[in-house]
A and B are shown apart, each in its own frame.
Chain A
Amino acid sequence: MRKRDIVLMAYNNLWRRKARTVLTCLGVLIGTASIIVMLSIGIGFKQTMERDMARWGSLNIIRIHPGMSYDEYGNPSGEEHRLNDDTVSELKNIPGVVAVSPAFQVHGEARLGRKNGWLDIVGVDLDTLEDLEFSVSDGRLPTAEERFTIVAGSQVINNFWDERASRMGGFHQGPPPEQDPSELLNQRISVSIFNQSNPEKRKNYNFMVVGILDEKNMEHAWQVFGSLDDIKRIHEFMVKESSGSGAASSGGMITMSRVVPMEKSVSSKRRSKMEDTRNDYNFILVRTKDVAQTKKVSAELRERGYNAYSMADSLEGIEKISKTIQAVLGGIGSITLFVAFIGITNTMIMSIYERTREIGIMKVIGASFADVKALFLAEASLIGLIGGALGLAFSYLVSAIINEITAEYMQSGMMGAGPPGNISVIPVWLAAFAVVFAILIGLGSGLYPANRAIKLSPIVAIRNE
């Protein structure tokens, strides 16, 4: 028998018993929809949490700060590492790492036109900006060829205030009004940096803002980013031992570092403490391929003794919770689908009783076992397919309604918490999986009735009664 004929015949048979087919399909519809909607809520929960976390730092980026890593009992793990070029090349060689950028961080008082404020400046390897997931909402990213160009976080503008304006306005209550980030674009910001050992010594630097970062990543919102070389020079000036009054306080460190080469027997751990670490990087950013790699690399770095942290490290707990939620919700949904499974089986058995004669006739006329079986399995699968497809459509409707209602609720409940995420999300894989699963449920529930149909004796069917 041809496949097309089997499906056509099965379809016609279902169509003959409209009411029963519709009711059985309804069972599958409800079963499929309940599974999809339940799982979609679990998925939506996870996505919302991930998105919320990503706002506070990329899930693909690991930050390494100077210092040690400690395990949960407070014991140091691995050895302490210095953050220098050796470290950078070590990090670059770790599998799963896409880009590494060392960073210097300086800050100082700043002036923007008539406005006063302060600026937190981070120097990074500008060639890695895109890999490190920097993206602008306005302007462009600075390039390595330029000097003293920066890209500013979306909140940096709020570091500045016009003293005269606030004086003229007299008193003002509460936080200053939000300012438009794009106001900074193509503006010159002048920053004065103090020497740490001698506050008398200061230098002024002028920066040009060439771009404004978008608001995706709040971690960068309050900082500006420029070239590593520029900031390195500023940093050198900042930490340089001055011949002035501050010399005494930090001078000792330098003397000690000079002793190091002679004391070869000293353990590397002790030695690193004695070395002059003032010109080491302030921190290092590591970009990995994806969240899974981030977790792996981040854990490995901690094992090696790095003081490494990533937003992705916190994901595990959330994933555990969302997996539990999905299991519970999916369990509830699958009970409904199991009931539908029984429903299909029941319908098919009923239909065999009704069609005993018909089945017998087909067998006498030359339908093989395989044909009879295929016909019944096709009918059961069709019920699964129809119910599953309608159930999917219904799920999208229910999902949309849930999101509509919760969006309203969340907007009224949590003002300014950013755009609320969808609480129910149906990814393509879930949709495809649900329909395929419904068909398999149909197929499975048809197995027993189909085998019964095969065993029916054709003689009973053709008795002249």
Chain B
Amino acid sequence: MKPIIKSENIIKKYRMGSQVVPVLKGIDLNIYPGETLCILGTSGSGKTTFLNLAAGLERPTKGRIIIEGYNLNKISEKNMAAFRRKYIGFVFQLYNLLPALTALENAVLPLIFEGVPSREREKKGRELLKQMGLGNRLRHKPGELSGGQRQRVSIARALINNPRIIFADEPTGNLDSKTTVEILKLLTDTVRENGQTMLLVTHDDKVAGYADRIVHMVDGNIYNGNAN
């Protein structure tokens, strides 16, 4: 099967003063359509950096990442926003909702940037939030929602324009264990139902257990991954 995300010898170094710190030391990783892959690693292992590179938020020092046949190195920063909007949905640890907008507005934000008419996107957002169990929280601002509810809004936002790929960075890092289970079930179930591919990044074994496949990241190297 052809991988949907293909990482070829990714090297990423940061300059810290006079020192150059290698964060990723040559990552080769294929992610296949429809699978939920978990990158498991401790803090500082480089897993979030890899996610940022895969999302086109940062450029690798060396190597390339190919998503759906597009070489991210070749996409200009200007066009990257449109690329992300089309192919990738994000779920963050800190939800990253806009505090001024309601749950509904937050959920449909990617559609606003897409230029979808308000009636159409609100209908879509309402349906999706209902599916997330937030049918009665549409007009609430993030500050009026619990952590679990916020993360549901955030998941709805990631799914709203039906991207092929979902990136989830410690999606349950700020939630209690009961909510963690709920959110993970919701997230993995929806992604599977939609046939989407998910890259899940966490340090938590229990969370990793929800993935189809787990790779370990230690000090900028990938282990246990069937790289090819």
In the complex, are the beta carbons of A13 and B92 less than 8 A apart? no
Q: How far is the CA of A464 from the CA of B91 in the complex (A)?
A: 12
Partner among A16, A365, A368, A462 whose Cβ is within 8 Å of the Cβ of B100: A16
In the complex, are the beta carbons of A462 and B92 less than 8 A apart? yes
Interface of A is mostly: helix
Contacts of B75 in A (CB 8 A): none
Known contacts A361-B98, A462-B92, A464-B170; decide if A367 and B57 are in contact (CB<8 Å).
no
Contacts of B118 in A (CB 8 A): 4-5
Contacts of A1 in B (CB 8 A): 112-113, 115
Known contacts A12-B100, A13-B100, A368-B78; decide if A362 and B93 are in contact (CB<8 Å).
no
B110 lies within 8 A of chain A by Cβ: yes
B: contact size bracket: 20 to 34
Contacts of B84 in A (CB 8 A): 364-366
Would you list which residues of chain A between 358 and 386 have a CB under 8 Å from chain B? Answer: 358, 361-369, 371
Partner among A2, A4, A357, A364 whose Cβ is within 8 Å of the Cβ of B55: A364
A459 lies within 8 A of chain B by Cβ: yes
A66 lies within 8 A of chain B by Cβ: no
In the complex, are the beta carbons of A462 and B96 less than 8 A apart? yes
Q: How far is the CA of A268 from the CA of B86 in the complex (A)?
A: 91
In the complex, are the beta carbons of A367 and B113 less than 8 A apart? yes
In the complex, are the beta carbons of B115 and A2 less than 8 A apart? yes
B114 lies within 8 A of chain A by Cβ: yes
Contacts of A4 in B (CB 8 A): 118
Q: How far is the CA of A2 from the CA of B97 in the complex (A)?
A: 21
Q: Within the complex, what minimum Cβ distance (angstroms) separates A129 from chain B? A: 64
Interface string of A1-43 (1 = CB under 8 A from B): 1101100010011001000000000000000000000000000
Q: Within the complex, what minimum Cβ distance (angstroms) separates B171 from chain A? A: 11
Interface string of B88-119 (1 = CB under 8 A from A): 00101110111111000000011011110110
Contacts of B101 in A (CB 8 A): 12
A: contact size bracket: 20 to 34
In the complex, are the beta carbons of A371 and B113 less than 8 A apart? yes
Known contacts A366-B85, A368-B82, A369-B78; decide if A2 and B117 are in contact (CB<8 Å).
yes
A246 lies within 8 A of chain B by Cβ: no
B58 lies within 8 A of chain A by Cβ: yes
A458 lies within 8 A of chain B by Cβ: yes
B26 lies within 8 A of chain A by Cβ: no
Would you list which residues of chain B between 8 and 64 have a CB under 8 Å from chain A? Answer: 48, 52, 55, 57-58
Q: Within the complex, what minimum Cβ distance (angstroms) separates B98 from chain A? A: 6
Partner among A5, A9, A459 whose Cβ is within 8 Å of the Cβ of B57: A459
In the complex, are the beta carbons of A365 and B93 less than 8 A apart? no
Q: Within the complex, what minimum Cβ distance (angstroms) separates B24 from chain A? A: 15
Closest to B157 in A: A365
Contacts of B85 in A (CB 8 A): 365-366
Closest to B170 in A: A464
B227 lies within 8 A of chain A by Cβ: no
Closest to B117 in A: A2
Partner among B90, B100, B115 whose Cβ is within 8 Å of the Cβ of A364: B90
Contacts of A361 in B (CB 8 A): 96-98
Interface string of A220-256 (1 = CB under 8 A from B): 0000000000000000000000000000000000000
Q: Within the complex, what minimum Cβ distance (angstroms) separates B140 from chain A? A: 16
Contacts of A369 in B (CB 8 A): 77-78, 81
Q: Within the complex, what minimum Cβ distance (angstroms) separates B155 from chain A? A: 13
B173 lies within 8 A of chain A by Cβ: yes
Contacts of A362 in B (CB 8 A): 98, 109, 113
Interface string of A278-315 (1 = CB under 8 A from B): 00000000000000000000000000000000000000
In the complex, are the beta carbons of B113 and A365 less than 8 A apart? yes
Closest to B169 in A: A464
Q: How far is the CA of A5 from the CA of B96 in the complex (A)?
A: 20
Jot down 26 A-B pairs with beta carbons below 8 A, ordered by A. A2-B112, A2-B117, A5-B118, A12-B101, A16-B100, A361-B96, A361-B97, A361-B98, A363-B81, A364-B55, A364-B57, A364-B84, A364-B90, A364-B96, A366-B82, A366-B113, A369-B77, A369-B78, A371-B81, A458-B57, A464-B48, A464-B93, A464-B94, A464-B169, A464-B170, A464-B173
Binding site for B on A (CB under 8 A): 1-2, 4-5, 9, 12-13, 16, 357-358, 361-369, 371, 457-459, 461-462, 464
In the A-B complex, the 8 residue pairs with the smallest Cβ-Cβ separation, listed nearest first, are: A366-B85, A368-B81, A361-B96, A366-B113, A367-B113, A464-B93, A366-B110, A16-B100
Known: A365-B90, A365-B157. 15 other contacts (CB 8 A): A2-B117, A9-B112, A16-B100, A361-B96, A362-B113, A364-B84, A365-B85, A365-B109, A366-B81, A366-B110, A367-B113, A369-B77, A369-B78, A371-B113, A464-B93
